Amino acid sequence: MRTETYSTPGPLLLNLEIPAGEIEIETSNTDQTSIELEAISNNDAVRDLVDNSRIELIKRGDGHEVVVEAKSRQGIFISLSRGPDIRFGGPDVRLRVICPKGADLDVRTKSADLRAHGEYGGVEIKTASGDLQLEEARGTARIKTASGDVHLGRAHASLEVQSVSGDLHVDSVGGDLRAQLVSGDVHVRDARASIGANTVSGDQRYEAVLKGRIELKAISGDVTVGIRSGARVFVDANTVSGSTSSELELGDAPAQEPAPDSPLVEVFAKTVSGDVLIERAPALELSEHS
């Protein structure tokens, strides 16, 4: 195992790259960054990878960059003895990082699960295979994965997600959301700005939408949009072989007209064989930090 502890006051960028294994990051009320890098499997190749990995502190303006770079030869392992089994990457390592709150993340991996607890600034994650868990991002978050589920607690700014195979779960997104999924569901509990989402095989559910232009496309999947009470609503929904329905009684005069300055939600939903449902969401409770 290799361990390092750096003094990192001010803005911080975590620049992390490992071929395969596990990454666990946690933020804390500290001005130090601590790193643990160890081999998961007990063989010479993995131990050599850990020993030869780059762990470095770099001064960046009034802040710092911490680099952890464990590179191995790229490769793909394919086993057909018990059905298709494809794994990307190389030797498995485990990386643990504890850093100050608000650090920016730049993570690249071929096959690794990532768990990021705490509050971060801007986030960029690229992986070929592995599940991703991110608790909170205050800056723009960009996530690109080929295979793996993405769980995000709260994105205060914009969020961009691309995935080939895997589900997307988001508790709250304050900025614009852009999502492209081939095989996987999209589930967003609270969306407070515009949404653009495309799925091929997977359902899309947005429990509570506050405002903005909501553009949703799906081939074989259902689309459900919940509209916050008090919002003005425009809906343009089309499906080839599915059904469209609304709990809002579109086309009829509501019992109480929304105020002229109330948020406007414009929903444009298109599916081929999926249903489209527009429903009423719970009343919105805004906090001073929202």
Average pLDDT over residues 269-290: 77
pLDDT, residue 20, reads: 92
Q: What is the pLDDT of residue 283?
A: 61
- The number of beta carbons lying within 10 Å of the beta carbon of residue 204 is 27
- pLDDT of 178 strictly over 80: yes
What is the distance, to the nearest Å, from the Cα of residue 286 to the centroid of all Cα atoms in its chain?
23
pLDDT in tens, 231-276: 899 999 999 999 999 988 654 444 456 677 789 999 999 999 999 9
**CA 85 to CA 101: how far, in whole Å?**
38
**Domain range summary for the chain, segments of one domain joined by +:** 1-126, 149-251+261-283
**Structure tokens belonging to residue 183:** 């095989």
pTM, rounded to two decimals = 0.88
C-alpha separations of 85 from 78, 79, 167, 204 in Å: 6, 5, 20, 28
